[in-house]
């Protein structure tokens, strides 16, 4: 079983963000929200339309065990550590935690302190997803993020904790906190303003060669359809350069033993994100908080994106996925991750599929249909055409 915890708060709002998030909220408001969330967890689902479905589904022993918890949307570390602990304890009291449970906390770099790292580990968090985006100071300032110097300073804190742990082990001492099991993921973005051609590749090389504790990299593109400041387009690399930059970064990461398991995600062996893979494979998913989406037995339940409706126990919508919906999602996730199996690609538009193979956008590998690297930027167009 897998669980999303959406935290709709940020200390400040990034300039490229277009999501429903709330910055500079008073601590009292956050405490009220956390208390409500805990009640939501403790009482199961508070929303009448899906209460019966959830109660029947939870009768199965296998569904009472959580294999991952993912704190997301948008800065979970804008909560206090005691609030985070309160949420995790509520989940632990309601569900069993799997032996190898993955508990991910997304965080900005400024929240990284030795004190926080120790506390997070004590409250069962064993994976950090840290937003870096770029090491270009001009770009970081433009998007309202921390400086390169602070990024390095904070990553040094993590490195020093790993070194302390290794030193204690060498001396035969039992450390109070073992950081060898803390998984670290870093996020980067292509197409940010002021970032020059091949600069992202150099950022990756610098970070990965300096810090050997990093075992996961997410490499996202800036969504071009959002209404960003007009000057950003002129200050960013071209679309042609983007593709080449992406491929150079991909090749470098693979040389450093980061296997690509989704178009934007690369991981060393054993460090793929369990939660992401569960989502892409349509596993049952619990979700709590504003704008969160449950997924249970092919039905999605969505919370509203405003506090008034959320506190009124309303649902934004209930969507039962049709066979066509599932088919479309399997195509999208299949091509973004590894491949499409025969049972899927045989149902596609064969004429269009053959055309894309002839144009070397798609190919067959081991009797499976795959997207070729040179055309990752066209994936949405290809899917639309072959369905």
What does each of the 387 residues of the chain score in pLDDT, given as a tens digit?
Answer: 899 898 877 666 666 666 656 665 667 688 888 998 898 888 765 454 455 455 555 555 556 789 999 998 667 788 999 999 999 999 999 889 998 999 999 998 999 999 999 999 999 999 999 999 999 999 999 988 899 999 999 999 999 988 876 555 444 444 444 556 689 999 999 989 999 999 999 999 999 999 999 999 999 988 765 667 778 888 888 878 888 999 999 999 999 999 999 999 999 999 999 999 999 988 988 888 777 888 888 888 888 888 888 888 788 888 888 988 888 888 989 989 878 887 788 889 999 999 999 998 999 887 889 999 888 878 888 988 998
The residue assigned the tokens 């049952």 is 284
pTM: 0.89
The residue assigned the tokens 């693979």 is 254
Q: Which of 79, 78, 74 is CA-nearest to residue 17?
A: 74
The DSSP letter of residue 372 is -
Annotation: CATH topology of 2-280: TIM Barrel (3.20.20)
pLDDT of residue 271: 95
| Residue 249 CB contacts under 8 Å (≥ 6 apart), including other chains | 190, 200, 201, 204, 219
The C-alpha atoms of residue 200 and residue 254 are separated, in whole angstroms, by: 16
The C-alpha atoms of residue 126 and residue 102 are separated, in whole angstroms, by: 6
pLDDT of residue 230: 73
Could you state, in order of their start, the residue ranges of all structural domains in the chain?
2-280, 323-387
C-beta separation of 187 from 222 below 8 A? no
pLDDT of residue 176: 44
């Amino acid at each position: 079983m897998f669980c999303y915890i959406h935290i709709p708060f940020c200390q400040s709002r990034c300039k490229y963000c277009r999501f429903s998030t709330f910055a500079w909220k008073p601590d009292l408001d956050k405490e009220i929200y956390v208390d409500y969330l805990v009640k939501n967890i403790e009482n199961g689902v508070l929303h009448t339309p899906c209460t019966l479905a959830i109660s029947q589904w939870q009768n199965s022993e296998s569904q009472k065990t959580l294999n991952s918890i993912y704190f997301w949307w948008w800065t979970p570390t804008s909560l206090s550590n005691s609030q985070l602990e309160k949420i995790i304890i509520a989940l632990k009291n309601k569900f069993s935690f799997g032996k190898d449970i993955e508990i991910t906390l997304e965080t900005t770099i400024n929240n990284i302190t030795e004190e926080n790292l120790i506390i997070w580990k004590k409250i069962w968090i064993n994976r950090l997803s840290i937003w870096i985006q770029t090491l270009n100071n001009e770009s970081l300032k433009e998007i309202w993020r921390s400086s390169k110097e602070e990024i390095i300073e904070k990553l040094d804190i993590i490195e020093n904790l790993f070194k302390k742990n290794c030193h204690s082990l060498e001396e035969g001492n039992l450390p109070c906190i073992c950081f060898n099991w803390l998984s670290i993921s870093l996020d980067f973005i292509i197409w940010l303003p002021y970032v020059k051609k091949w600069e992202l590749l150099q950022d990756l090389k610098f970070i990965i060669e300096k810090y050997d504790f990093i075992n996961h990299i997410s490499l996202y593109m800036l969504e071009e359809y959002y209404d960003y400041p007009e000057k950003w387009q002129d200050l960013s690399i071209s679309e042609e350069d983007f593709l080449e930059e992406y491929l150079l970064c991909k090749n470098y990461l693979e040389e450093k033993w980061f296997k690509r398991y989704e178009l934007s995600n690369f991981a060393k062996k054993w460090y793929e994100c369990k939660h992401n893979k569960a989502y892409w494979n349509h596993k049952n998913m619990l979700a709590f908080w504003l704008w969160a989406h449950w997924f249970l037995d092919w039905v999605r339940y969505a919370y509203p994106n405003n506090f008034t409706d959320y506190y009124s126990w309303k649902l934004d919508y209930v969507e039962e996925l049709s066979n066509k919906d599932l088919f479309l999602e399997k195509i999208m996730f299949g091509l973004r991750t590894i491949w499409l199996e025969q049972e899927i690609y045989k149902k596609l538009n064969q004429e269009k599929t053959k055309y894309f193979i002839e144009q070397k956008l798609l190919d067959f590998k081991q009797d499976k249909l795959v997207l070729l690297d040179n055309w990752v930027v066209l994936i949405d167009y290809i899917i639309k055409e072959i369905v």
